[in-house]
């Protein structure tokens, strides 16, 4: 923001991010407990495509245990990419299709690892709204994204998971294996910094305090952003 509007003092800029609704969620899981479920929830299209993730999954599946017990599921409109399951022959690749908003949140909570996938090269300074829902699910996150983008910033800032450049299939395969092995070792809970700061309840309170400061003259309206 400061780079776009250099006339504004950096110290006077306030950012209030997107966030998640902090209502309780009942996890939805249909797979047996011994399976490790990697799940991507969201739309696929010509620009956001599953190829890097599926290719990396096939590489990780050279490990016999991974091949036997790891499942990769895509939830949402697949944009005709369902045939891409053939990129990982013999692997458990599934396309669920579109579900309701409430079920999508429940499926996130029922995953072993939630996957962020961003193969679009431009506009990476933003944070996807889904990333905040993933935080609320409190499951480990594997972010296959631009390492300098907004999604990567959020995952690193919260300690919510790992970040891998989406175009590096070898590194992505290694991280898929690491996620699987951590889960096999019993480490599947999300250990993060304070993610509650991204709850919409708290963000609304932050916005209200900012308005109070403007009204009381603590900050000048023209410089509050």
Q: Where are the domains of the chain?
A: 27-190, 194-225
Contacts 24+ apart (CB under 8 A), 216-221: 219/12, 220/12
Note whether 112 and 183 are within 8 A (CB). Answer: yes
Top-ranked range on mean pLDDT: pick from 21-30, 115-124, 209-218: 21-30
Task: List the 36-41 sheet strands across, edge first.
Answer: 92-97, 70-75, 36-41, 113-117, 141-145, 161-165
pTM of model > 0.85: yes
Give every CB contact of residue 178 below 8 A, 6+ residues apart in sequence.
162
| Tokens (6 digits) for 97 | 């299709």
CATH 3.30.2040.10 fits 27-190, yes or no: no
Per residue in 214-224, pLDDT (tens digit) is 888 776 655 44
Quick: pLDDT tens for 6-41. Answer: 888 877 788 889 999 999 999 999 999 999 999 999
């Amino acid at each position: 923001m400061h780079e776009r509007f250099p006339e504004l003092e950096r110290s006077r800029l306030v950012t209030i991010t997107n966030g998640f609704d902090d209502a309780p969620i009942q996890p939805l899981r249909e797979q047996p407990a011994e399976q490790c479920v990697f799940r991507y929830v969201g739309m696929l299209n010509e620009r956001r495509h599953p190829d890097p993730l599926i290719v990396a999954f096939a590489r990780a599946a050279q490990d016999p245990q991974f091949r036997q017990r790891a499942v990769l599921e895509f939830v949402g409109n697949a944009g005709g990419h369902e045939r891409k399951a053939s990129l990982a022959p013999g692997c458990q690749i599934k396309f669920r299709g579109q579900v309701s908003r409430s079920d999508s949140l429940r499926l996130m909570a029922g995953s072993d690892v939630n996957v962020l996938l961003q193969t679009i090269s431009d506009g990476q300074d933003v944070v996807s709204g889904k990333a905040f829902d993933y935080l609320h699910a409190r499951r480990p996150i594997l972010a296959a994204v631009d390492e300098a983008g907004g999604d990567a910033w959020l995952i690193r800032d919260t300690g919510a998971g790992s970040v891998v450049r989406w175009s590096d299939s070898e590194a992505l395969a290694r991280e898929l294996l690491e996620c699987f092995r951590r889960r096999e070792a019993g480490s599947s809970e999300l250990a993060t910094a304070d993610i509650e700061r991204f709850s919409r309840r708290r963000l609304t309170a932050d916005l209200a305090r900012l308005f109070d400061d403007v009204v009381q003259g603590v900050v000048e309206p023209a410089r509050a952003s």
